[in-house]
With several copies, the nearest count.
Chain A
Amino acid sequence: MSRDAAGKSACATVELVVRTIAETAIANETYFCQLDSVVGDGDFGYSLARGFEKVLENFDGFDRSSPGAFLKKVGLMIASRVGGTSGPIWGTAFLRAGSAAGAKTALSGADVVAMLRAAVAGIQARGGASLGDKTLLDALVPAIDRLEADLASGGAEALANAAQVAERAAAETSGMLAKRGRAAYTGERSIGSPDPGAVAIGVIAIRVSAAWRNYSSAKE
């Protein structure tokens, strides 16, 4: 599964997650663009796909000394080389998650939750959005909450539950009035369609959870 010659297990897991996110983003380019066309400018899927293409192109060269180091390289690549709002936002998320992991070579469930919380804080610091502003945060934050609450049930189970929450929360952004991003310019017209970033979080969470289940059952 992992191309990591060093075979570090936490690193391999993180690689799997990043690769799954990347492949999901690329596979859904058109769908995500379509979502962004409703009250946005239609480039969300394009930006995300071009960004994760760059990540995959440079995948083998990224620092693998620790999961944190690896994530920081991924984040730097996205933050610096991808345009639109999504480049800096997603890049910052990966960067902050990596920083939160520090030099650890093994990651517990609690570590993962802490990393995701750091990502959220980074997104908020960058873009100034609050929960309820109709952004990807509105899918990401409830999913992390659920992940944390279910950690005791085991990683695969907790992830699956969190992914379902993300998907549902993404759909529920339909009812919200956008206060951030281009969708906000349309005012009341932003109500009635889901936020593209939130939907992407839902779709990606489902794919990551499935990949994780495969991977961990294969390991067992």
Chain B
Amino acid sequence: MRKFVNDPKQFAPEMLKGIALANPAELRYVPEYNLIMRADAPSDRKVSIVQGSGSGHEPAHVMLVGKGMLDAACPGDVFSAPPVDYVYETTKLMKSEKGVLHLVNNYTGDRLAFEMAREMAEADGIRVETLIIDDDVAVKDSNYTVGRRGVAGNFFVMKAVGAAAESGADLEALVALGKRVNSVTRTMGIALSSCTPPAKGSPLFQMAEGEMEVGIGIHGEPGRRRVKQGTANEVVSLLLEAVVTDLPFGSGDRVALMINGLGGTPIGELYLLYGIAHQRLAAQGIQVARSYVGEYCTSLEMAGASLTLVKLDDELMNLLLAPAVIPYRVF
């Protein structure tokens, strides 16, 4: 296992402690619930935004806690939804007159934990609303299945509702906004390697060089199919085709384009993909008005990338550009 780790079972807590130590003025860490929270949260003048999900997706979500984005994040172990208790206690700690908004990526474990925690918190008199994020077009949606996954596109929901909450939007408005952002956000991912959860110590699946997994999620589960590795041009074609035709996006649209690294792919390659995608979109009359290139939602050290498109309007653009003070930063 090519990892920097002490006791693999303590991977998440030790990481969280590092985040807190790096941001002593802005954040607080509550070890009992794997909780990273804004030091100045909650506030009764602002809806509290809480995100959960498993660890191993960093910077999502623990490194996105701060003014302008999340008020708290309570991750579970690597790739495991947080226990109900973490979510419940976090919700209580984040209690606000204006309510608490749960951002939940659409996975069974996460939904169950947040649903049960919400019931418990509501019994305590806390107003809670839930936003389900499901941007992954790799999963065929249907009433008879679990539906689409929430993947890298969750960044846009977090950023938009985070900014709106900061300027005082109320719970209903945030739910409506979040749903709107989710409804115009589409993602598709591809992997060139598997990844190794620290506690497992070996890769989740085997993948020879020269292969790629198409339609990969962010938990090391295999994708929809395995094919021969293509050139960067071919990879972009495949990702764009899946994303553009799904919403669909079309000529005249203004979009945000995200090339998200899955953890093991360096940013140079991501920009290479970005350049190709940007030009392809321009050729289709789709204007990229904002770019996001880097790691936003990873799958440990998996080599791979996902492509996200968000259809923009002026309101959304302004929310995306609004400042935020979070651990994931350059300076």
Contacts and interface: CB of A to CB of B under 8 A. Distances in A.
Interface of A: 33, 37-43, 46-47, 50, 79-89, 91, 126-127, 179-187, 189
Contacts of A180: 108, 145-146
Nearest to A89: B112
Contact of A85 (B78, B81, B200, B225): B81
A83 B109 contact: yes
A83 B112 contact: no
Interface residues of B, number: 40
Given A42-B200, A185-B217, A189-B222, A83 B80 contact: yes
Contacts of A43: 54, 77-80, 197, 199-200
Interface of B: 9, 54, 76-86, 88, 107-109, 112-113, 116, 138-140, 144-146, 149, 197, 199-200, 204-205, 217, 219-225
B221 A40 contact: yes
A101 B220 CA distance: 40
Contact of A41 (B146, B221, B225): B221
A184 B113 contact: no
A211 B309 CA distance: 56
Contacts, number: 119
A21 B307 CA distance: 44
B82 A83 contact: yes
A37 B205 contact: yes
A127 B107 CA distance: 11
Contact of B79 (A42, A50, A127): A42
A179 B144 contact: yes
A185 B221 contact: yes
A133 to B, nearest CB: 8
Given A39-B221, A43-B197, A50 B112 contact: no
11 contacts: A37-B205, A42-B79, A43-B80, A43-B199, A84-B76, A85-B109, A86-B109, A87-B113, A88-B113, A183-B221, A185-B146
A88 B221 contact: no
Contact of B204 (A41, A85, A86): A41
